Amino acid sequence: MFADLKIDQISPNPDQPRKFFDEAKHQELKGSIEENGLLQPVVVRPVEDGEAPYMLIAGERRWRACKAAGLTVIPSKVIKDIDEERAYVLSIAENVGREDMTIMEEAGAYADLAAAGWNPAKTAKQFGKTETHIKWRLGLLTLRQEVAEMVDKGHIKPNLAWHIAQLNPGNQMVAATRYVRGDFDSEAEAQHFANGLKTMEKQTSLTNEEAPSVEEQETRKKAKAKAKDGLGKAEEVLLPLLEELAEKKPEDLAVILGDDLDRHVRVVGKLFSQVQLVRNLLSKAQGIQRAMQEQFNKAAVEVQKEAAAKKAETAPKPEAVEAEKPTEPKAGEKPAAKPAPKPRPTRKTAAAKPTTRTAAGTKPVARKAPAKKVAPKGEAGAAK
């Protein structure tokens, strides 16, 4: 039934899926109500043991604007015999299609229904959405708070947000920050970077991979040379040819190519398809490469932190250094006695001459001079 209820008889729903109300739009609606009155009634249900006899099901934004405009009575549609779950579903239905309901609010509303036993298929049917849409919205609930705020503010689009939500909290911040500051040329590049980070997360460690064998190194070297040669030829031959054709008029090409025009259209169509495919593959490869570099930079930072921690452990503590320094005597105190100097080593004296003990006393022992050799007589004469 419809009734004009006192505005103070209605309380907002604490489980309202919408938490954010735009101030500018609120003022705009307030002005419209002051000028024209409320054109669409709010939807309420009677409650027992509540702050007020009625609780809002739909129309909290209108209810807020009416209060701000100074209205004391508000047109209302009263729905009786409705349980809380049904009232919540109607509240979601009233808000889910509105532009001012944020993506994270929508995801939270679907999560509440999932907690009540609703599966994605049932939720999708209820609100006219696809099952994939419901699942992707639910997938956003793993976003860390800072990234979720970026999504709500429109800095990150829902599709990219879902890819970021698949990452661990640290990498979520890396991908979101780099996208917001403009490190990528497109949203697709940012998605490929996020997918590259996910690939890195699945690997235990970049340093645990075994070094490639000589044969594998040679195979990679040949593949690299072949790819560079092929891309180089495309740049040198194909690109200039396409640029030259693009400068011509359609009527000129019709005459120049003649009967072969249909075949060339098919060839260029296949070429375009392959170029699109390769472009997508290269973009994914670029994302993985950037993610690998990001992981490498993280690992380098961790190594530096570990080295700094070990250095700090081995360095002398400041307290020990201060304890070794002599302290200044306080007023009225005698200076501390200096430690006695260590004794200097004495010079070694020459060894004493050997002595012998006699009856008269101790006398030095005289060394005998070596005996002179006496040459034989014959030899003496020969020497003369």
Task: Give the 3-state secondary structure of residue 55.
Answer: strand
Strands (E), the chain: 2-6, 10-11, 42-46, 54-58, 73-78, 355-357, 362-364
Residue with tokens 């579903």: 89
DSSP 76-128: EEE--S--HHHHHHHHHHHHTT-TTS-HHHHHHHHHHHHHTT--HHHHHHHHT
Residue 60 known to be catalytic: yes
Backbone angles phi, psi at 326, to 5 degrees: -65, 135
**Longest CA–CA separation in the chain, Å:** 165
Contacts of 120 (CB under 8 A, 6+ apart): 110, 114, 131, 134, 135, 138
DSSP class per residue in 315-350: SPPHHHHHHHSPPPPPTTPPPPPPPPPPPPPPPPPP
Catalytic residue among 35, 60, 187, 328: 60
Cα angle, residue 339 at apex, residues 335 and 342 outer, rounded to 5°: 160
With H, G, I as helix, E, B as strand and everything else as coil, classify residue 281. Answer: helix
Residue 209 DSSP symbol = S
Contact call for residues 73 and 37 (beta carbons, < 8 A): no
Show which residues are catalytic. 60
